[in-house]
Structure 1
Amino acid sequence: MLILGSFGASCLLVFAYPQSPFAQPRNVVGGHFIATATGLAFFTVFGAEWWSMALAVGTAVALMLVTRTAHPPAGSNPLIVALAGAGWDFLFTPTLFGSLILVSVALVYNNFGQGRRYPSYWW
């Protein structure tokens, strides 16, 4: 399955506000990937403790800011990972493949019609 709860909020950004910095492909794919990887690392080492989930979210946000891949919906990914008890395969399906599909659909949708352009930048 390619379902990740935070993809709903990502859809709002890429389809309703495609010019937003948070809606650019680097941010969507990179943000989800980094946040999920961070959540998986914390969950693997510390388990689903309240404090480890809090640290995972904070670390994910910091890493997204440092790598210039901030994507607000991805901030919930560490919580989703821990609460679902996800394994490392979750990093690729649904996270990576789902975010790539989301960006692909956004490319078609947001460039259909005159005067529309998505993305504003790739990297």
Structure 2
Amino acid sequence: MMLETNIPTLPATAPRHSLRNGVVACVGVFSIIGILSYCSFQLGVLLALGSFGSSAVLLFTFPENHFSQPRSLVGGHFICTLVALLVLSFAGHHWWALAIAVALATAIMMLTRTLHPPAGSNPIIVFLAMPDWQFLFFPTLFGAMMMVLVAWFYHRACRRSYPLYWI
């Protein structure tokens, strides 16, 4: 007698995206990264993080995903940067402190339901750049909030539903 399992079968390949969805995603990613980059260059203030590139991909290719919702995007980036700054302040600039920062930030994102995988690279960015506490607000919080705002307007203009929930 065989036991039945509830393990779903996975498709053999990744899903195929339509040309329309590809164009919508491409223009959306261009829009948000373009806006953040333009503002950065014009204001002389860093507003675009490396992790925002992968956040933009999620926002415009899978806007319905939990990782793309405002709670996860803004909360994840904020938490990861905050944890990294705290660990850097208390433990110093060591390889093991960086590992602790990424692990701790991941656990906190999971516990607070703000999991956003691209934000997991923020502690690495913090340990490489060695910024001051202002980095938590500019570019992290401001940039993440701008991404959500642009995504909200853009998806509305394309008649797509975003976000599925705010908090």
The two structures share one fold, judged by TM-score above 0.5: yes
Q: 1:48·1:83 contact (CA, 8 Å) conserved in 2?
A: no
Aligned to 2:72: 27
Residue 52 (structure 1) shift: 0.3
AA in 2 matched with 1:122 = W
Structure 1 CA distance, aligned partners of 2:62 and 2:142?
22
Question: Unaligned 5+ residue runs, structure 2?
Answer: 1-45
Letter of the 1:106 partner, please give it: A
Deviations 1:80-105 (A, max 9, x none): 10111111100000000000000000
Q: Greater relative contact order (Cα 8 A, min sep 6): structure 1 or 2?
A: 1
- 1:67 matched residue in structure 2: 112
Higher CA-based Rg:
2
**Aligned residue pairs, count:** 122
- CA offsets 1:41-98 (integer angstroms, 9 cap, x no match): 0111112211000000000000000000000000011111011111110000000000
Q: Which residue of 2 aligns with 1:122?
A: 166
Consecutive unaligned residues in structure 1, runs of 5 or more:
none
Residue 3 (structure 2) aligns with: none
* Aligned with residue 137 of structure 2, among 82, 92, 95: 92
Percent of residue pairs identical: 52
1:8-46 Cα offsets, whole Å, 9 max, x none, are 000000111100100000000000000000000011111
- Cα distance between partner residues in 2 of 1:63 and 1:88: 19
Secondary structure of 1:69 counterpart: coil
- Superposition misfits of 4+ residues, deviation over 2 angstroms: none
